[in-house]
Amino acid sequence: MIKFILKRLGISFLVLLGGSVLMFYLTVTADDPLKDYYESNDPNRDQIIAAITQRLQLDEPWPVRYWDWLTGVAGCVGPGVCDLGQNINGAEVSTLLANAASSTLRLVTIATVLAIVVGIVVGIVTAIRQYSGLDYVVTFLTFLFFSLPVFWAAVLLKEFGAIRYNNWIADPQISPVQAIVTGLILGLILQSVLGGSWKRRLATGGGTAVFVVAALLYFTSVGWWRAPALGIGIVAVVSIAAAVGLTAIFAGLANRRVLYATLTTVGVGIIAYFAVSPLLAAPSLLTLVGLLAVAIVVGLVSGYFWGGYSSRRAAMGLSVVTAVVMGLLIVVDRIVYAWAGFLGIKSRPISTIGSNTPNFRGDYWETILDNGTQLLLPTILLTLISIASYSRYTRASMLETMNQDFVRTARSKGLSERVVIVKHAFRNALIPITTIVAFDFAALIGGAVITETVFGWKGMGELFRTGLDAVDPAPVMAFFLVTALAAIVMNMLADIAYAFLDPRIRR
């Protein structure tokens, strides 16, 4: 395995080197960066031209300029000074890259994780419910999302997700008609997902519709939309549901030891909800990381003592996941509680331009809300586009795997459908999906150029676009460096995941 990884690293280095040469050549020969200055009437024109010529080494042939750039990049991974050069205005590209990469990677990472989780779940459900009404609807929506022009979808999101929402949140009202229509739509969707006999569908859809209508009307009457709160009740109910659901999917409810372990973790989390409240009033990132580590330890201890010899591994794993889910719910509870104060500072919360609000004055949670609302629309856009490919590939891979002989053998041995799908079909179906994840992460960084342009996001897209417009190779090569390294690292992780999912690949 180590020999295979080293071989892949060597090939990846050669590909990276060849691609950088081609990218540098195409950039520097695309146009003349001084053409606008030649026509300028600025009295300092000659001095500006001389400064840019020296800064960009325009009096040197392109191989020499490329070698100087490559030498500076080599210092980033070995002995020497890390130097990515200067842009046409004299700013250090390394500083620009650090700010742009942190912004873009935050956006792309969140969008990728959401797309993977939602896309895989949707793909599994549609594979199990093949040729059902749900399958046809999801197929139509995935092809629709996949074919959406990014710039057009971004404009729609800005109109409905920002402008109209900001107008509505100033005086949020939901009429009974709107509540009924929303309840019927959600009830129709849920009964389609769960399926079953017509009586079960009617009960599921009707119950969902009644609950949604009652909740919407209640929230409107008490002004919940501008001053929301979850509270320990909702946190506890959702955490218990997560514990039972995770146990049912991955271990089965018949495995009481695992169920008791996850429920014990929830019980400790309910006590911790009150114990950590003073710490969460004005926390720091280090505080939150420390509390997450404590939650993981609690999950491990609960799983260890409840699991016994045969179920200890499953109990510890699911207890840790339950602890993390409950910890995230407690954090979400604090963020939701800060919404009222956030609206007092920023009356139109969803922005259409920029990655942060200039001169924003708020506490820790209000600052998180500001960053989150700025991140919301571009994340939704990138996630919708990626979900389409993940769900289709998952569906196809699951259908192919579920028709294999070993799956039929597992069913003939009397294993439950949960065990057949989760432990046999799904794991083998993940092998081709890992390839899509590896390529999609790097592709999203490149595709974020259009998204960042539409939303005025100060990230890698702007760095790349301004570099191309100015025929400035240093920012363009910095963009290429991050994108190419992301592609190489993700492909390497995909190779390691292959070996984990299918031990035969190790040989």
Q: How far apart are CA 310 and CA 296, in angstroms?
A: 21
Looking at residue 447, its pLDDT comes to 67
Return d(Cα 97, Cα 460) in angstroms, integer. 7
Q: Is pLDDT at 11 greater than 90 in this prediction?
A: no
Query: pLDDT band at 307, cuts 50/70/90?
Result: confident
Cα diameter, the chain: 87
Q: In which band, very low, low, confident or very high, does the pLDDT at 269 lie, cut at 50, 70 and 90? A: very high
Determine the average pLDDT of the residues in 421-434.
81
What is 23-70 written as a DSSP string?
HHHHHHTS--TTHHHHT---TTHHHHHHHHHHHHTTTS-HHHHHHHHH
pLDDT in tens, 309-330: 767 888 899 999 999 999 999 9
CA distance 260 to 286: 31
Q: Measuring CA to CA, how many Å separate 65 from each of 4, 53, 99, 468?
A: 35, 12, 25, 17
- pLDDT per residue as tens digits for the range 398-412: 998 888 888 888 888
Quick one: what percent of the chain has pLDDT higher than 90?
A: 31
Q: Which of 159, 168, 156, 160 is nearest to 347 (CA)?
A: 168
Tokens 């969460």 correspond to what residue? 280
Report how far residue 419's alpha carbon sits from residue 313's, in angstroms, rounded to the nearest whole number: 17
The answer to whether the predicted template modeling score (pTM) of the entire model surpasses 0.85 is: no
Distances (CA, A) of 484 to 13, 153, 256, 363, 389: 10, 27, 48, 38, 21
Residue 430's pLDDT is what? 80
Alpha helices in 195-284 (DSSP H): 198-222, 231-250, 256-275, 277-280
**Tokens in use for 47?**
């001095």
Q: What mean pLDDT comes out for the span 259-278?
A: 93
For residues 254-283, average pLDDT: 92
Residue type, 12: S
328-340 confidence digits (pLDDT tens): 999 999 999 999 9
- Does pLDDT of 78 surpass 70? no
pLDDT of residue 435: 75
pLDDT band at 506 (very low <50, low <70, confident <90, very high): low
Of 18-27, 52-61, 86-95, 437-446, highest mean pLDDT:
18-27
- Band (pLDDT 50/70/90 cuts) for residue 271 is very high
Which of 297, 288, 289, 234 lies closest to 265, judged by CA? 297
DSSP 457: -
210-248 per-residue burial string, b: 16 or more CB within 10 A, e: under 16? eebbeebbeebeeeebeebebeeeebbebbbebbbebbe
Q: Burial level of 349, CB count in 10 A (0-12/13-18/19+)?
A: buried
